[in-house]
């Protein structure tokens, strides 16, 4: 090795260049996913992984939706017996599990995975292989969790799975064991993904993108990821302890042995409430970034919205007991958590006023995406107010476990997750596929979903106020619930028809939508500066950022500072990306990025084998599974020359 | 600043240099998440301890004869691992191998003593919620010790292969950092199970 080449291995002054076809060809050869089925399995391209996440999560949304429709048919009138009580229990539990764990969070991970490097001006995520791992483990855990439901052993105790009903004494089948182990497996996926988002935000931004210039969705996903990283262990631990209680006779939740059923509720909601924010904050970020584009006006109060995002999560760690107001806790505890839950309305309101002000000051263009984003504000207010109401202890005592809570959670999760996500699909679909979605069908799509949703869930508040308890498989005539339930069922089918139109629009537009070009909406952020769909390397040269809206600088004319998008570091000595400093975004290091590899898939298969063996208590198989996990990890972490993790091998 | 990135680019390190690299950030995330896990385990202990009547503790006066020296041994193994990492930094392969091997041996002795402690207990995981917590908390810590020992073993192998230099050594720094975490978190477990009863918690 020549001294010059050896020197290049340690430090180098990056070449600065223009975007040329020769450079593009060179980068294409370096970054493209290899053809064929094995190449597909081995891909670590964040765009590929993001799309897989999005497609899988939407499929699960459809499955969870069908479960909901079956339940609505059951409840269409009094004394219906389409489902037995046990089947009904499994349906509502699986519906909750699917929507909350397998759709709401993964869909946001999908969008963030696809968009993060594009927003940040990076070539990929910080850990491309971990990115692939988080998707494969998500897929494996979804199959694992659904395996029980398919054979009639799905979870049957609601998504939050309270003991003692989840204990073996009352639930002797495999239902809860599958749910417990599947959730631990899913937790691995979420944690790995969260770590990847955090490190990507802090280390992989374009030079000049200081943290006050990041798009708001980055703030949302960053905040959610930090929360996930520290709260997922709570739920994984809770499910692990439950499995031990059920299968090995420990006494964590069993009062007879000095355990506490409330320990389950504490551990679950210490996770559960931050998690609720984790599945809405990135979606709120979608609105904060998408809405201004259609208002032709920058988001009003960027700093306030970013800080409100963080404040929501900080407060969100201290409100979990409001799910437990009716469990007989001391008055002081109730007062504290009630106060914290009421306080959290303030940062939420900051975001709402910022969006309203943005529409007010801008010149709104009523695209389908705009309709979805703007309607979210209304739905958020309704869901927020019903949440604010139940933050008050006396009100909660009246309403807990009624349909009022069901209405609240659906306004929050459909209103602040599904509506922004569908809007985001209309908004970023052209970037992902190079084609526009059909606007005419889009209007039908929006108004059907909007009308159906409100017809289904607005009356449900009343159903709850009249006292109908949630999670009952039927109700007798003459209770005053009949008409309201009929309306809800009609609304839910209308809503489902709207969702179908959305899926149809995606399929139709993917095949033959109008050509979008790189920037159909005249957006302000970096993803609109590159072709649609983006090339495997995203940016031919690393952009240099001078403002919060690199593509709107001339229109806004806020100062002399201009970003440079067509000239910059070329980083074409192999698969390379730029690392920057955490706060100021100054160039810090040239990263060697890993090639496509089957290691993430292998590790996933090994983990799945291990968990299946634990479920069946096949300890010899669990030993094989553990060995396979160890082997996959050693293969993965073995220091590689290509990644400059070690010097040239000098054996001996 | 922004213009200088293009007009006057600085020389940048290529790939992970010394202990700097995104891998370090990843390890920090892993440790944060694992630390939270132990936080929830200890929360469970204090919660059940506070909500149960007196007599919940199976060992109101914990025996420190083995546990205290064993704790000191584990802490000393962190020092040995640090000394081994210093060997890599100073290009002294002998010191690197000796330090990490010493840490490996000390960690193995810790684990062996811990297994002996388990066998010496008069109760089993199914005896009561205290017993369940004791065995599962120390058991999960043991799982981390075993993973840490495997990491140390791999590092010894890779150092023996001559993979690392003072500049290229991120895997060593990360692995040793993980071992420090395994040792540090034991201090919290030890304090909870062996010291707080002596201070009067739940006694």
Confirm or reject contact between A515 and chain B (CB < 8 A).
Answer: no
Other Cβ atoms within 10 Å of B59 Cβ, number: 15
Answer whether residue A293 shows pLDDT above 50. yes
Tens of pLDDT, residue by residue over B18-49, are 888 999 999 999 999 999 999 999 999 999 99
Write down the H helix ranges in A98-215. Answer: 105-120, 128-150, 175-203
On whether residue B24 sits in a domain, the answer given is no
* Contact between residue A191 and residue B33 where contact means Cβ atoms under 8 Å apart: yes
**Dihedral-angle region of residue A92 (phi above 0 means left; psi in -120 to 50 means alpha; beta otherwise):** alpha
Nearest-by-CA chain B residue for A566: B6
Please return the burial class of A337, using the count of CB atoms within 10 Å of its CB with bins 0-12, 13-18 and 19+.
buried
Is B5 inside a domain boundary?
no
Radius of gyration of chain A from Cα atoms? Answer: 25
Position A191 scores a pLDDT of 97
* pLDDT tens-place string over residues A580-619: 999 999 999 999 999 999 999 999 999 999 999 999 999 9
CA distance A21 to chain B (A): 20
Alpha-carbon span A327 to A269, nearest angstrom: 13
Q: Which of B17, B48, B154 sits opposite A259 (nearest CB)?
A: B48
Query: pLDDT (tens digit, 9 = 90+) per residue, A333-346?
Result: 999 999 999 999 99
Residue B93 inside a domain? The answer is yes
Average pLDDT of span A379-398 = 94
Q: Is residue B23 part of a domain?
A: no
DSSP string, A584-618: T--EEEEEEPPPP-SHHHHHHHHHHHHHHHHHTT-
Q: If you write DSSP's letter for every residue of A296-339 in order, what string do you get?
A: TSPPTTHHHHHHHHHHHHHHHTT-GGGG-GGG---HHHHHHHHH
Q: Provide the 3-class DSSP secondary structure of residue A170.
A: coil
Length of chain B (residues): 203
Interface membership of A309 toward B (CB under 8 Å): no
Q: Where are the alpha helices (DSSP H) in A434-512?
A: 439-465, 482-512
* Residue A252 to residue B133, Cβ atoms within 8 A: yes
Give chain A positions within 8 Å (CB) of B17.
10-11, 589
The dihedral region occupied by A404, where left means phi > 0, alpha psi between -120 and 50, and beta the remainder, is alpha
User: Is the predicted pLDDT of residue B1 greater than 70, yes or no?
Assistant: no
Model pLDDT, residue A644: 87
Given a cut of 60, is residue B193 above it in pLDDT? yes
Each residue of A181-221: pLDDT tens digit? 999 999 999 999 999 999 999 999 999 999 999 999 999 99
**A590 φ, ψ (degrees, to nearest 5):** -95, 125
Percentage of residues of chain A with pLDDT beyond 70? 98
Average pLDDT of chain A? 95
Q: pLDDT digits over B109-162, tens only?
A: 999 999 999 999 999 999 999 999 999 999 999 999 999 999 999 999 999 999
Burial class (CB in 10 A: 0-12, 13-18, 19+), A354: buried
In a domain, B80, yes or no: yes
Give the residue from B31, B163, B172, B181 with the most A CB atoms within 10 Å of its CB, the best one to mutate: B163
The owner of tokens 């992984």 is: A49
Does residue A7 or residue A89 have the better pLDDT? Answer: A89
* Pairwise CA distance, residues B133 & B114, whole Å: 15
A457, two tokens: 């869930």
Q: How far is CA A416 from the centre of its chain?
A: 12
Query: Residues 6 or more apart from B43 whose CB is under 8 A from it?
Result: A266, A267
Select from A578, A543, A585 the least CA-distant residue to A12.
A578
Q: How confident is the model at residue B6 (pLDDT cuts 50, 70, 90)?
A: confident
Task: List all residues 6 or more positions away from A610 whose beta carbon is below 8 Å from its beta carbon.
Answer: A622, A625, A626, A628, A629
**Residue A650 sits at the chain B interface (C-beta within 8 Å):** yes
Cβ-Cβ contacts under 8 Å, B158 against chain A: 639, 646
Is 90 exceeded by the pLDDT of residue A447?
Answer: yes
Tens-digit pLDDT profile for residues A14-57: 999 999 999 999 999 999 998 899 999 999 999 999 999 999 99
**Residues in contact with A25: Cβ distance below 8 Å, sequence separation at least 6, in sequence order:** none
Contact A202 B25 (CB under 8 A): yes
End-to-end CA, chain A: 20
Task: Give the span between the Cα atoms of A287 and A376, in whole angstroms.
Answer: 8
Question: CB of B15 within 8 A of CB of A643?
Answer: yes
- Band (A83; pLDDT cuts 50, 70, 90): very high
- Of residues B5, B36, B133, nearest to A544 (C-beta): B5
Contact: B5, A587; criterion CB under 8 Å: yes
Within-domain flag for B40: no
Give the Cβ contact number of residue A52 at 10 Å: 20
Residue A16 DSSP code = E
Question: Looking at the 3D structure of chain B, how many domains does it have?
Answer: 1
* Domain coverage including residue B82: 63-203
pLDDT tens-digit readout, A319-365: 999 999 999 898 999 999 999 999 999 999 999 999 999 999 999 99
In a domain, residue B116? The reply is yes
Spatial contact of B108 and B149, defined as CB atoms under 8 Å apart: yes
Q: What is the DSSP string of B56-99?
A: --S-SS--HHHHHHHHHHHHHHHHHHHHHHHHHHTT-HHHHHHH
Residue A626 is given by DSSP the state H
Q: Under an 8 A CB cutoff, do B56 and A258 touch?
A: yes
Interchain pair B37, A236: CB under 8 A: yes
User: Which of residues 177 through 216 in chain A touch B, CB cutoff 8 A?
Assistant: 191, 194-195, 198-199, 202-204, 207-208
pLDDT at A284 over 50: yes
Judged by CB atoms within 8 Å, which residues 365-384 of A form the interface with B?
none
Q: Give SS3 for A593.
A: coil
Chain A residue with the nearest C-alpha to that of B129: A251
Whether A263 and B20 lie within 8 Å, measured CB to CB: no
DSSP at A587: E
Q: Is residue B7 part of a domain?
A: no
Please judge whether A126 and B33 are an interchain contact, meaning their C-beta atoms are less than 8 angstroms apart.
no
Beta-sheet strand order (sheet of A16-18): A16-18, A564-569, A542-544
Tokens standing for residue A222: 């960053």
Residues A252, A255: Cα–Cα separation, whole Å: 8
Residue B2 pLDDT: 61
* Minimum distance, in Å, between the CA of residue B3 and any CA atom of chain A: 8
The nearest CA of chain A is from the CA of B141 a distance in Å of: 13
Average pLDDT over residues A500-509: 98
* Mean pLDDT score, A143-156: 96
| Interchain pair B9, A630: CB under 8 A | no
CB of A12 less than 8 A from some CB of B? yes
Decide if pLDDT at A7 tops 80: no
CB < 8 Å to B46, chain A: none
Section A473-492 average pLDDT = 96
C-alpha distance from residue A604 to each of A178, A196, A203, A391 (Å): 17, 17, 26, 41
Tokens of B119: 């066998």
Q: Do the beta carbons of residue B97 and residue B160 sit within 8 Å? A: yes
Distance CA(B21)–CA(B174), nearest Å, equals 10
CA-based torsion, B46, B52, B57, B58: positive or negative: negative
Handedness of CA A119, A121, A126, A130 (dihedral sign): positive
Contacts of B129 in chain A (CB under 8 A): 250-252, 254, 257-260
For the cut 90, the answer to whether the pLDDT of residue A462 exceeds it is yes
Model pLDDT for residues B72-83, shown as the tens digit of each residue = 999 999 999 999
Dist CA B147 CA A187 (whole Å) = 19
Mean pLDDT check: name the lowest of A5-19, A246-260, A464-478: A5-19
In 3D space, the residue among A214, A225, A212, A366 whose CA is nearest the CA of residue A293 turns out to be: A366
The mean pLDDT of A102-122, rounded to a whole number, is 97
Domain at B192, CATH number? 1.20.120.80
Query: CA B147 to CA B11: how far, in whole Å?
Result: 38
Whether residues B15 and A267 touch (CB distance < 8 A) is answered with no
Task: For residue A466, give the 3-state DSSP assignment.
Answer: coil
For A376-396, b where at least 16 C-beta lie within 10 A, e where not — what string? Answer: bbebbbbbbebbbebbbbebb
Residue A632: per-residue pLDDT:
97
Q: For residue A11, which phi and psi values (nearest 5 degrees)?
A: -150, 150
> ipTM strictly over 0.85?
yes
Q: CA-nearest residue of chain B to A649?
A: B163
Residue among A238, A633, A646 with most chain B CBs within 10 A, to mutate: A646
């Amino acid at each position: 090795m020549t001294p010059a080449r050896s020197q290049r291995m340690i430090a180098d002054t990056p070449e600065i260049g223009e975007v040329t076809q020769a450079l593009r060809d060179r980068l294409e050869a370096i970054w493209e996913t290899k053809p064929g089925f094995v190449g597909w399995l081995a891909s670590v391209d964040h765009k590929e992984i993001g799309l897989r996440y999005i497609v899988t999560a939407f499929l699960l949304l459809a499955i969870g939706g069908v479960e909901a429709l079956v339940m609505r048919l059951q409840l269409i009138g009094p004394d219906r017996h389409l489902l037995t009580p046990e089947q009904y229990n499994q349906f509502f539990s699986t519906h909750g599990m699917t929507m909350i764990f397998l759709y709401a969070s993964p869909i946001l991970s999908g969008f963030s995975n696809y968009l993060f490097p594009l927003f940040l001006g990076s070539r990929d995520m910080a850990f491309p292989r971990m990115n692939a791992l988080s998707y494969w483990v998500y897929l494996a855990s979804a199959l694992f969790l659904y395996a029980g439901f398919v054979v009639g052993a799905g979870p049957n105790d609601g998504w939050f799975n309270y003991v003692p009903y989840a204990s073996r004494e009352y639930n002797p089948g495999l239902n809860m064991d599958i749910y417990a182990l599947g959730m631990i497996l899913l937790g691995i996926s979420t944690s790995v993904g969260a770590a990847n988002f955090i490190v990507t935000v802090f280390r992989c931004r374009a030079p000049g993108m200081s943290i006050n210039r990041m798009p708001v969705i980055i703030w949302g996903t960053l905040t959610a990821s930090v929360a996930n990283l520290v709260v997922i262990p709570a739920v994984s631990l809770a499910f692990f302890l439950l499995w031990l209680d059920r299968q090995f006779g420990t006494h964590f939740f069993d009062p007879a042995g000095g355990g506490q059923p409330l320990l389950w509720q504490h551990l679950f909601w210490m996770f559960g409430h931050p998690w609720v924010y984790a599945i809405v904050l990135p979606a709120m970020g979608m609105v904060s970034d998408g809405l201004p584009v259609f208002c032709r006006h920058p988001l009003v109060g960027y700093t306030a919205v970013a800080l409100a995002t963080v404040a929501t999560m900080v407060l969100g760690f201290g409100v979990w007991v409001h799910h437990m107001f009716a469990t007989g806790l001391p008055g002081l505890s109730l007062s504290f958590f009630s106060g914290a839950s009421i306080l959290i309305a303030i940062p939420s309101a900051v975001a709402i006023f910022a969006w309203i002000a943005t529409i007010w000051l801008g010149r709104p263009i009523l695209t389908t995406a705009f309709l979805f984003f703007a309607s979210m504000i209304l739905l958020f207010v309704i869901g927020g107010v019903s949440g604010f109401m139940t933050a008050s202890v006396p009100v909660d005592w009246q309403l807990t476990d009624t349909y009022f809570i069901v209405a609240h959670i659906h306004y929050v999760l459909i209103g602040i997750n599904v509506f922004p996500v569908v809007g985001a699909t209309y908004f970023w679909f052209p970037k992902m596929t190079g084609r526009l979605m059909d606007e005419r069908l889009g209007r039908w799509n929006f108004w059907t979903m909007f009308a159906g949703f409100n017809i289904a869930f607005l009356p449900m508040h009343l159903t709850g106020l009249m006292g109908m308890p949630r999670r009952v498989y039927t109700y007798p005539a003459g209770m005053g619930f009949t008409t309201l339930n009929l309306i809800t069922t009609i609304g839910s089918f209308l809503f489902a028809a709207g969702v179908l139109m959305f899926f149809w629009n995606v399929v139709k537009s993917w095949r033959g939508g109008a050509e979008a070009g790189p920037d159909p909406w005249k957006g302000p952020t970096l993803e609109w500066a590159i072709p649609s769909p983006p090339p495997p390397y995203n940016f031919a040269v690393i952009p240099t950022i001078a403002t919060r809206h690199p593509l709107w600088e001339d229109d806004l004319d806020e100062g002399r500072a201009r970003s440079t998008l067509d000239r910059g570091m070329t980083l074409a000595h192999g698969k390379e990306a730029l690392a920057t400093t955490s706060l100021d975004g100054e160039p810090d290091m040239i990263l060697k990025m890993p090639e496509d590899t089957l290691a993430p898939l292998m590790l996933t298969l090994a983990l799945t084998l291990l968990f299946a063996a634990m479920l069946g208590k096949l300890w010899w198989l669990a030993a094989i599974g553990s060995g396979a996990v160890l082997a996959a990890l050693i293969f993965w972490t073995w220091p590689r020359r290509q990644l400059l993790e070690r010097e040239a091998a000098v054996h001996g | 600043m922004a213009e200088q990135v293009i007009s006057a680019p600085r020389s940048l390190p290529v790939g992970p240099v010394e202990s700097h690299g995104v891998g370090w950030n990843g390890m920090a995330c892993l440790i944060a998440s694992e630390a939270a896990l132990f936080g929830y385990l200890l929360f469970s202990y204090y919660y059940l301890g506070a909500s149960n009547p007196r007599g919940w503790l199976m060992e109101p006066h914990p025996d420190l004869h083995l546990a205290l020296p064993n704790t000191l041994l584990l802490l000393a193994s962190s020092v040995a691992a640090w000394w081994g990492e210093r060997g890599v930094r100073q290009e002294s392969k002998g010191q690197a191998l000796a330090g990490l091997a010493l840490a490996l041996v000390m960690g193995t002795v810790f684990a062996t003593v811990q297994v002996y402690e388990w066998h010496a207990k008069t109760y089993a995981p199914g005896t009561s919620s205290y017993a369940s917590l004791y065995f599962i908390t120390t058991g999960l810590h043991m799982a981390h010790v075993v993973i840490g020992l495997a990491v140390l073993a791999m590092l010894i192998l890779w150092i023996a292969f001559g993979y690392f230099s003072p500049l290229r050594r991120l895997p060593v720094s990360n692995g040793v950092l993980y071992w420090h975490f395994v040792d540090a978190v034991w201090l919290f477990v030890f304090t909870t199970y062996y010291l707080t009863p002596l201070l009067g918690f739940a006694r």
